[in-house]
Structure 1
Amino acid sequence: MSAEITVAEKLAIHELLARAAYALDEREMEMLAASFAEDASFSMRIAGGDVIGPFESRDGIMQLMSSSMAEQADKRRHAVSNIFFEADTGEGVVVISNLTLMATENDAIKLLTAGVYRDRVVQRDGVWQLQSRHLDLDKSY
C-alpha cells in the first residue's frame, strides 16, 4: 500500500461491505444506496464473459439493483469474506473480497455462485462509501 490505513479504517470498511451485503439481502434500499457514493460505478463479468456495465451513479446502480430484486422469488444471502486491502491509491482504498451467493427457496438452500469483488472505497465527510465496484462471478445463476 502506498499509504497505510489504520485498523479503525479497516474495520469501518469491513462494516461498509457487510452493510451493503445485508442491505441487498434484506432489501433495505436506503441502506444500500447509502453504501454507494453519488458518483459511483458498478460493473460485472460472468464466467469470463463480456463486461456488463458500467452502471454509472448511485441512481443508476440502484435502478439495476431494484430491477434485479423485482425478478427474484428466492431469499438471497451475500456472504462477503477474505477481505484484504490491496492499495491506497490516494483516490481511495482498493479492497478485494470474495462473494458467496446463496438462496433459500421452497425450504431448500442452494449455492448460486461465487466470485470476487474489487472495490475502491472513499471516505467523504467521515463516511466510507463504495466509489467503484467490479464483480467477477465464477458462473451465471
Structure 2
Amino acid sequence: MSRVESLCQVMSRFLLGVDEQDAELVRATLAEDAENVMFLEGRKTSPPPGREGIVGYLEAFWRTQSDQRRHVLSNAIVESESPTGAVVSFYLTLYATKDRKLRPVATGKYRVRFTLSDGGARIQNVELVLDGPFD
C-alpha cells in the first residue's frame, strides 16, 4: 500500500469509527494531541483538544443521535508530504438514514494533517469547512 493510500485508510477508519460509534476505532486514528475544527458560515467550532477531548465530544453526540450517519470521502489530494507528516484534502458528503429514509446532511471539504512515525500515520489536525448548514 502506498503512503497516500495508507493516509486515506486512516481518515476512512476515523470516519468509520464516527459512523459506527466506535470510540476505540476513533482513538486508534488520532494523535494524542489531535485537534478537530469545523467552520460553518465563517464561525469556528471545535471540541476540546486532544484525543480524549475529541472522543468525549463524539460520545456525547452519539448519546443524542437518532439516525445512522455515513461520511463519504472523495477527491483525495495530497497538498504536501515530508518524512514526518502530510496534508491531504478530501471532499465530504454526509448522509443520514432514519426510519428507512435517506437524506443528505452536509457537504464540505476536509483538510487533514497527519503525523508519520514508525508506528504509522495518525491524524494530527482535522479542519472541516462546510458548504452550508446541516443538522
* TM-score between the two structures when normalised by the length of structure 1: 0.88
Matched, 1:55 2:48: yes
Query: What is the total number of aligned residue pairs between the two structures?
Result: 134
**Partner SS, residue 114 of structure 2:** strand
Segments of 4+ moved more than 6 angstroms? none
Structure 1 residue aligned with 2:21, among 3, 19, 27? 27
1:10 corresponding residue in structure 2: 4
Letter in 2 for 1:44: M
Q: Residue deviations 1:69-120, cap 9 Å, x none?
A: 1221000000011111001256520110011100000110000011110110
2:58 corresponding residue in structure 1: 65
| Alignment check: 8 A CA contact 2:84 2:117 kept | no
| Alignment check: 8 A CA contact 1:43 1:55 kept | no
Structure 2 residue aligned with 1:105, among 76, 98, 104? 98
Structure 2 residue aligned with 1:114, among 88, 107, 112? 107
Query: Which blocks of at least 5 consecutive residues in structure 1 are unaligned?
Result: 1-6
Matched-pair identity in %: 31
2:36 corresponding residue in structure 1: 42
* TM-score between the two structures when normalised by the length of structure 2: 0.92
Query: Which blocks of at least 5 consecutive residues in structure 2 are unaligned?
Result: none
| Alignment check: 8 A CA contact 2:83 2:116 kept | no
Alpha-carbon RMSD: 1.5
**Partner SS, residue 46 of structure 2:** strand
| Alignment check: 8 A CA contact 2:47 2:57 kept | no
